[in-house]
Structure 1
Amino acid sequence: MTSQVTFDSHVFSVLAAAVQLVNRLTAGQFGGVDYAAPEGAAQVEATADALSADGRPRPDVTPADAKQLAEVATRMRAVFEAVHRSEIDQAAAEVNALLLDTNARPQLDNSGELGWSLHFHGADDTLANGWSAGCAAGLALALGSDLAGRLGVCAAPLCDRVFVDASRNSQRRFCSPQCQSRVKAAAHRARQQPTHT
C-alpha cells in the first residue's frame, strides 16, 4: 500500500474549492501582510475566482451568492484551524453543523465519460447552496478518514492561509511556494548573521 493521497477527484475538487473560498474570502494575513476580506463587487469577483481556480468555467456569482459563501468560508476556516491545532472533535462539530445548515445530500451524478460519481447537493440548486453543501461534505469526508491531517494552515510567519496537503509524503507546511521561499530566505539570512559572543 502506498502513502499516496486517495482523495477521489470530486472530493479533491470540493476541498480545493473550500481552500480557495477560505483564502480569498476571509480576513487574516497572507505572505507577511494583512489581508482584508473583500466586500461588495470585489467579494463577487473573489468568489468567482475561487470557484474557477481549478480550471472550471467561471460561474455567474450574485452578490447574495458571494455573501453566503463568505459566511460559509469563515466557518470552514474554523475547521482548518481546529485541525491544525489537533482539535478534531471541534472540527467535526463545525463540519456537522455545516452539513445540517447546508442540507447536504448525496447524489450520484453521471459525469459523462468518467461515469457515475458521488456528489453532494444543497437544499436547492442555487450556486451558493450547492458549493456550500459540497465543500461541507468534502471536509466531512476528509475528517472522517485518515486524511484529516491533510488539512493545514500555513506555517510561515504572518500567514494564516489554508491548504490541503496532497503530497506523497504528507510534509506540506506552507500555503504557497512564495511562503515557503520567504521562510527559507529568512532562515538563510539568520544563518549568515555573525554571532556575537
Structure 2
Amino acid sequence: MLKRTRIAAVLASTMCTVAVALPNVAQAAARSEALPSKSEWLADVAPVASDLRDYLGHRLAGVPAGQKPAIVLDIDNTSLATHYDPGRPVQAILDAVRYGQQHGAAVLFASYRDADSHDSTVRELTSAGYTVDGLCLKPADGSPGKAEVKLGCRKKYEGEGYTLIADVGNRSTDFEGGHYEKGFKLPDYDGALS
C-alpha cells in the first residue's frame, strides 16, 4: 500500500509539472504563429537598414580628427537572423554596417547572451561576415536585466573613448537609457521576436 501511495504521489507531481509546462509551450507556439514569414520580416527590416545606411553616410562624412565613431548592434534578430536563419547575417544590416566600417566606424556589439558564450559568439559573428571590434555580454555574476546590461555596455564603450553614433536593435531594452546619438529599431512584433 505504501508503494502505491508513493507512485500516486510521483504521478500527481509529474502531472502538475506537465500542466504547468503546457501553458508555456502554448505561449511559445502562439508567439511563433504571430510572426511573419522570413520574406515579410526582411521586407520590414529593409527600410530601417536603408535609414541606417543613409544616416551613416551623412554622419561619417565629417568626423572630427581624433573621434572614434562606432555602431552598437544587438545580435539576435538584429545582426544575425537567429529565428529565421540561425548563424546567418541579416544581410541588409550587415551591408549598412560594412559601409559604416569602410568609412571609419568601429563595430561594437551589446547582447544579453551569457558571458561564457563570448568566444562562440565572436566566431558566429565573424563567420556571418561581421568585424567584431568589441563584444559586451551579460555579466557572469548575475544581471540586473536586459536594459541595464545594454546600457552598461554602451557606457563601457563610451569609457573606452568611442562616440556611439548609432544603436541598432529590435527590442525597446536595446535603447533604454540613451548613450548613443541615434537609434534604429528593427521589428519585434510586440515582443514575439526576441
| Normalised-by-shorter TM-score class | under 0.3
Larger Rg: 2
TM-score by length of 1: 0.25
Greater fraction of residues in strand:
2
